[in-house]
Amino acid sequence: MKKSGNYSGIDCFRLIAALLIVAIHTSPLLSFNETADFILTRIIARVAVPFFFMTSGFFLISRYSCNHEKLKVFIKKTAIIYGIAILIYIPINIYKGYFSMDNLLPNIIKDIVFDGTFYHLWYLPASIIGAAIAWYMVKRWGYSKALIVCVILYIIGMFGDSYFGIAEQVGVLKQFYTLIFQLSDYTRNGIFFAPIFFVLGGMIADTNFKSSFQINGIAFVVTFVLMFVEAMTLHTFEVQRHDSMYVFLPVCMFFLFQLLLYWKKKRFTLIRMAALIIYIIHPMMIVIVHFLSKFLGDIIVENSLVNYLVVCLLSILFSMIATVVINNFTASRKSIKKKWCFETERAWIELNLDNLAYNVNALQKVMPEKSTLMAVVKTQAYGHGAFQIATSLNQMGVKAFAVATIDEGIQLRTYGISGEILILGYTNPNRAKELKKYDLMQTLIDMKYAKALNRQGITVKAHIKIDTGMNRLGVSFENINEVKMIFSMKYIKVCGIYTHLCCADSLLPEDVEFSENQIDNFYYLIDKLKERGVQIPKVHIQSSYGLLNYPQLACDYVRIGIALYGVLSKSDKNTRVKLDLHPVLSLKARVVLIRSVSKQDTVSYGRSFQAKRDSLIAIVSIGYGDGVPRELSCQKGGVLIRGQYAPIVGRICMDQLAVDITEIEDVSVGNVATLIGFDTIDISAPNVAEHFDSISNELLCRMGTRLPIIIK
């Protein structure tokens, strides 16, 4: 599930949750019925804070990450808000005699870290601690293990909260919780309470739960009823120390949150800020209402429902005014920042992940029924960005990947990629421990290599590469005994066996004959192994062109590389299976300078371009250091500016190139130049590659690591 979108349900429930929290602190129904008030404030309203935690987790927590920047930003923003809130309530704390308590410094530290310096502010330090705990657990262990640990923490917290009456009957537990309560007044905090909801929020975002609205609705109603019965039972027997942590609360929240995700319309962005302000400011409004009661009458404090409504009204009015002020201030800052970025951004790769999803679906439709797509993401996913592509594919449900090196495989694991990862190339046998640690599958490139890896004494998963005629890597298909020996090696766990077709992209009769011979050679080996009692693991032969030209092969995997990214190696699409694939990558840069060049003047290194007329030249901030082939110099290549083609003039430099825009009207500094992609007309990767006698694969892999990647 993408963590961006029109989550109207989440936005609207923020306001509902904020008003429920106001209810907790004002007890709206207490003047009418104590039980009814308990149901509202201690059962229904208990979904509010977990909802806020889950919302933060939904947009923050992910096993897919290349850095900790999002966590740092979240903690920084929350800490700033917490600091402002602390300052706001200092006058009230002084009035209440907070600073005259015994052991002031230890209590201040305890309140700042766990309990909050005012009764409702505990949520903010809990968010900081809970987010950090959840982030690092998910990052290190994945969701399953992180959730188990969070459940254990939650259970520990629960027996210091709603089930404390049971725990205090056991001497050891009573001593344990007595110690905890010296550090924090409640187990409803960032250690025991918050992490489980952060993890659940992230898990919902990262995992494709496919339950229908009806199923989620029924599950929510059932779990809420169970939580209601649980809470009323605990209340009846007076077991609680506090009424925050119920057994069925996390389960109930799981289904409630998924229900909210079904409402996807226009986002109500102002509500997000308003709900936070209501949460922070409503105790101040409670104080103001008590002050106003001296002038407006006691009914606004004595009648609990009226008191609640007045507090809500004042909180909402204050939040609306504050939100408008803050929004106008931040909008002006963003516009300044946007203008600055516009003027300084030089070049970038732009990815269309919707096209990636389309290609995955299109390729899977033509794959044999029981075949699994193995996404080839080596060399930074053919220049597209391994992190962006692999994490997106994993979220789409792709569970098999291929890379070229062990370091690429380790990188995928650090990004949080789950599933199988096959290393197609050589790995030093001395790195066997890393192969096992990161659960990588190593290609066995020949018999000698297999023996060397086996001698490490570390069980390693592997695929056997079979050379069927390419004469590159692999054990010869004729060496049946050698292949059989590999299956019997003690420390080699053979998970697959495969070959590679060297001319599958060609439909020339002689090339088709050669490919068919390769296929026959592979299956000859497989049949001989079966005859000798070898249990055949998963097999794979096809790459992108192998699928498009030999779709009849029913293998366990199909290794899709270049086609996954919406292009083929060459512009000639003469394949047996025709697919309308959509390019994922665009390459763009900015026009940073426009200069007039007189007839006979030269441009760039070597004076290789001499103007044959008075010309207008645009300097574009991209060069061969960013992956643009230098072979495209001197009008062999070009760019699109304002939907028109501008040829490259002179030699391409490391960091910039020049194009002739004499025939293009209204070009200005800051305009976008498209080197690969669509702008009224199309410049495709295969066409660009043909201009320097190459293929799309090489062109895309040239994309330099210094180019930022932007998701369209």
Active site residues: 378, 605
Short-list 626, 583, 619, CA closest to 603: 619
- Residue 537 is given by DSSP the state -
Radius of gyration of the chain (CA): 32
Please state the φ and ψ torsions of residue 256, each to the nearest 5 degrees.
Answer: -60, -45
* Bridge partner residues of 560 (DSSP): 375
Region at 61 (left for phi over 0; alpha for psi -120 to 50; beta for the rest):
beta
Helices and strands: H and E segment counts in the chain: 26, 20
Strand partners, 401: 375, 421
Cβ–Cβ under 8 Å, residues 305 and 28: yes
Residue found under tokens 């002038």: 295
Q: Residue 317: is it exposed, middle or buried by C-beta count within 10 angstroms (0-12/13-18/19+)?
A: exposed
* DSSP element (H, E) containing 407: helix 406-415
Cβ pair 268, 8 in contact under 8 A: yes
Q: 608: which 2 tokens?
A: 């290789």
Asked if 188 and 174 count as a contact pair (C-beta separation under 8 A), the reply is: no
CA-closest candidate to residue 615, choices 657, 664, 564: 664
Output b/e per residue, 581-595; b: 16+ Cβ within 10 A: bbbbbbbbbbbbeee
Query: What Cα–Cα distance (Å) separates residue 374 from each residue in 182, 397, 408, 432, 657?
Result: 54, 11, 15, 23, 38
Say how many Å lie between the first and final Cα of the chain, rounded: 16
Cβ atoms of 465 and 443 closer than 8 Å: yes
